[in-house]
Amino acid sequence: MESLKDKAAIVGVGYTPQGKVPGRSSLSFHLEAAKNAISDAGLKIQDVDGLLVQPAMGDPSVTAALVAQYLGVRVRFLSVLDAFGASAGCQAQFAAMAVAHGLANYVVCTYGENARSGVSEYGTALNGGLEYGLFGPAACYAIAARRAMHEFGTGPETWKEIAVAQRRWANLNPRAAMYTRPMTYQDYYDARILVEPFRLLDICQISDSGRAFIVTTAERARDLKKRPVYIMGMGQDHPATNPQQATFLTGPTGAKLSGEQALKMAGITLKAIDACEIYDCFTYTVEVELMDYGFYGRGEGKDFLKAGRLGPGGDFPLNTSGGLLSEAYQMGFTPLTEAIVQLRGEAGDRQLGVPTGTREPEIILVSNNGGVMQTHSTLILRK
Amino acid sequence: MMTSYTKPLPIINDDNRQYWEYCKQHELRMQQCNDCGYIRFPPGIICPRCHSMAAGWVKLSGRGKIYSFVVYRVSYHPSYADDIPYVVAVIQLAEGPRMESDVTGIKVEDLKVDMPVEVYFDDVTDEVSLPKFKAVS
CA nearest to A115, candidates A103, A124, A106: A124
Q: Which residues of chain B have pLDDT under 70?
A: 1-3
Taking CB atoms and an 8 Å limit, are A133 and B9 in contact across chains?
Answer: no
How many structural domains compose chain A?
1
Which of the following is catalytic: A15, A106, A230, A329? A329
Contacts A245 to B, Cβ<8 Å: 41, 97-98
- pLDDT at residue number B1: 47
- pLDDT at residue number A120: 72
Query: What is the Cα–Cα distance from A382 to A9, expressed in whole angstroms?
Result: 9
CA nearest to A210, candidates A346, A11, A35: A35
Among the residue ranges A219-228, A240-249, A272-281, the one predicted with the least confidence is A240-249
Q: How many CA atoms lie within 13 A of B38 on its CB side?
A: 16
Q: In the annotation, is A15 catalytic? A: no
Instruction: Report the Cα A24 to chain-centroid distance in Å.
Output: 23
Mean pLDDT of A179-201: 98
Mean pLDDT of A174-192: 98
Establish if A98 belongs to a structural domain.
yes
The β-bridge relationship of strands A375-382 and A229-236 is antiparallel
Q: What is the 3-state secondary structure (H, E, C) of chain B?
A: CHHHCCCCCCCCCCCCHHHHHHHHCCCCEEEEECCCCCEECCCCCCCCCCCCCCEEEEECCCEEEEEEEEEECCCCCHHHHHHCCEEEEEEEECCCCEEEECEECCCHHHCCCCCEEEEEEEECCCCCEEEEEEECC
Per-residue pLDDT reduced to its tens digit, A31-86: 999 999 999 999 999 999 999 999 998 788 899 999 999 999 999 999 999 999 99
Q: What is the 3-state secondary structure (H, E, C) of A160-181?
A: HHHHHHHHHHHCCCCCCCCCCC
User: Start-end ranges of CATH 2.40.50.840 in chain B?
Assistant: 61-137
For residue A376, list its beta bridge partners. A369
**Most B-contacting residue of A244, A250, A288 (CB-CB within 10 A), to test interface:** A244
Establish if A185 belongs to a structural domain.
no
Among the residue ranges A99-108, A198-207, B1-10, the one predicted with the least confidence is B1-10
- pLDDT at residue number A277: 98
Per-residue pLDDT reduced to its tens digit, B68-79: 999 999 999 999
Contacts of B21 (CB under 8 A, 6+ apart): none
What CATH number is associated with residue A39?
3.40.47.10
In the predicted model, what is the mean pLDDT of chain A? 96
Establish if A178 belongs to a structural domain.
no
Out of A128, A146, A243, whose CB is closest to B69? A146
Query: What is the Cα–Cα distance from A308 to A293, expressed in whole angstroms?
Result: 21
Q: State the pLDDT confidence band at A118, using cuts at 50, 70 and 90.
A: confident
Q: Residue A55 in contact with residue A80, Cβ under 8 Å?
A: yes
Taking CB atoms and an 8 Å limit, are A128 and B100 in contact across chains?
Answer: yes
What architecture does CATH give domain B61-137? Beta Barrel (2.40)
Max CA pair span of chain B: 46
Q: Is the pLDDT of residue A317 over 50?
A: yes
Per-residue pLDDT reduced to its tens digit, A2-43: 799 999 999 999 999 999 999 999 999 999 999 999 999 999
Contacts B85 to A, Cβ<8 Å: 196
Out of B10, B41, B48, whose CB is closest to A131? B10
Q: Which structural domain range is residue A279 located in?
A: 8-119+205-382
Report the residue of chain B nearest A192, measured CA to CA. B73
Q: Is the pLDDT of residue A124 over 70?
A: no
- pLDDT at residue number A242: 86
Q: In the annotation, is A132 catalytic? A: no
CA nearest to A336, candidates A310, A370, A364: A364
Q: Is the pLDDT of residue A175 over 50?
A: yes
Region of B62 (left: φ > 0; alpha: ψ -120 to 50; beta: rest) is: left
- pLDDT at residue number B13: 94
For residue A329, list its beta bridge partners. A206
- pLDDT at residue number A243: 87
CA nearest to A12, candidates A220, A222, A219, A226: A226
Out of B11, B48, B77, whose CB is closest to A135? B77
- pLDDT at residue number A125: 62
- Assess B9–A contact: CB distance below 8 Å, yes or no: yes
